[in-house]
Amino acid sequence: MPAPKDLEGRHALVTGSAAGLGRSIALKLAERGASVIVNCTKSMADGEATVADCQKAGAQARLVQADVSTDEGCAKLAEAAAQGGRLDILVNNAGITKHARDHSDLDALTREDFLHTYAVNVAGPFLMLQKTKALLVEAHRQTGRASAVLNVSSIAGVTGIGSSVAYAATKGALNTMTLSLARALAPAIRVNAVCPGFIGTRWFKDEMSPEQYAKMEAGVAASVPLHVASGPDDIADSAVFFLTDASRHVTGETLLVDAGMHLGYAPLVAR
């Protein structure tokens, strides 16, 4: 069944959208009629492929290379969004980690590891809102509809599991920031978050052999209550809810989309 064109005429920006979950969200927004700014830091070929697929869906799309951990990168993205006159949807998806799964090994992370992870995962979403706030408010002024901001967090920020202590800490901070900004920016802007568990993307695949990845994916499916290993589209379907009028009365929410991982069967992995 074709996607409804309920986002026709809306302008969206998705950070970290060259691949993985960000790509899936960008494509779903495009399929529903939104124009989309795709963002990457380095993966230009992947970003161009995502733009091409958004355009195949009938949407206007373009790629902006920018690093959200910097003022300059966020300003560049905001300048691109300003060309549309307003911004209806902002998805703060860009995120990084340094894999250090043994949380008891405190020597596995350096001060620089912590600061860089925070710069992308926490400062990045804040800076993006700082730079695009006027555009988001303008969309509310023009339409009477609250603009939608979605922060992509993680089950790691709720349970403390995950790829590293630093990663879990940043996602916990992002969850708290979601609450603060939802309160502060209403009624013009709604701010929500999704907390995925395991997602089958290059996040893990690039760190493992195909055999290791297949074993881990099977282990995840066996250990979560729903007995599934989620892919990017599975999470994106839930994420897009926060970007449509179906959630028009929702702000300050943090939704766990983890196949039940938080219920106590969680393995030692999380997005």
- Flag whether pLDDT at 202 surpasses 90: no
Encode pLDDT of 151-194 as tens digits: 999 999 999 988 899 999 999 999 999 999 999 999 999 999 99
Q: Which domain holds residue 130?
A: 11-200+231-259
Closest by Cα among 26, 18, 73 to 48: 18
If DSSP states are collapsed to H, E and C, what string results for the chain? Answer: CCCCCCCCCCEEEECCCCCHHHHHHHHHHHHCCCEEEEEECCCHHHHHHHHHHHHHCCCCEEEEECCCCCHHHHHHHHHHHHCCCCCCEEEECCCCCCCCCCCCCHHHCCHHHHHHHHHHHHHHHHHHHHHHHHHHHHHHHHHCCCEEEEEECCCHHHHCCCCCHHHHHHHHHHHHHHHHHHHHHCCCEEEEEEEECCCCCHHHHCCCCHHHHHHHHHHHHHHCCCCCCCCHHHHHHHHHHCCCHHHCCCCCCEEEECCCHHHCCCCCCCC
Closest by Cα among 96, 34, 28, 26 to 63: 26
- Flag whether pLDDT at 268 surpasses 60: no
What pLDDT sits at residue 219? 85
How many C-alpha atoms does 129 have within 13 Å on its Cβ side?
25
Closest by Cα among 7, 45, 253, 46 to 139: 7
Structure-token pair, residue 21 = 């979950």
Residue type, 193: A
Question: Is-catalytic flag, 167?
Answer: yes
Edge-to-edge order in the sheet of strand 254-257 = 61-65, 35-40, 11-14, 89-92, 147-152, 189-196, 254-257
**Residue 170 in domain:** yes
What pLDDT sits at residue 266? 46
Cα 95 from Cα 153, distance rounded (Å): 9
Encode pLDDT of 106-142 as tens digits: 999 999 999 999 999 999 999 999 999 999 999 999 9
Encode pLDDT of 7-53 as tens digits: 999 999 999 999 999 999 999 999 999 999 999 999 999 999 999 99
**Residue 182 in domain:** yes
**Residue 162 in domain:** yes
What pLDDT sits at residue 270? 47
What pLDDT sits at residue 162? 86
Mean pLDDT computed over every residue of the chain: 93
**Residue 267 in domain:** no
Taking residues 41-70, report their average pLDDT.
97
Structure-token pair, residue 212 = 């290791």
Catalytic residue among 118, 167, 213, 265: 167
Domain total of the chain: 1
**Residue 249 in domain:** yes
Cα 128 from Cα 68, distance rounded (Å): 7
CATH number, domain at 130? 3.40.50.720
Cα 147 from Cα 137, distance rounded (Å): 7
**Residue 270 in domain:** no
**Residue 208 in domain:** no
**Residue 271 in domain:** no
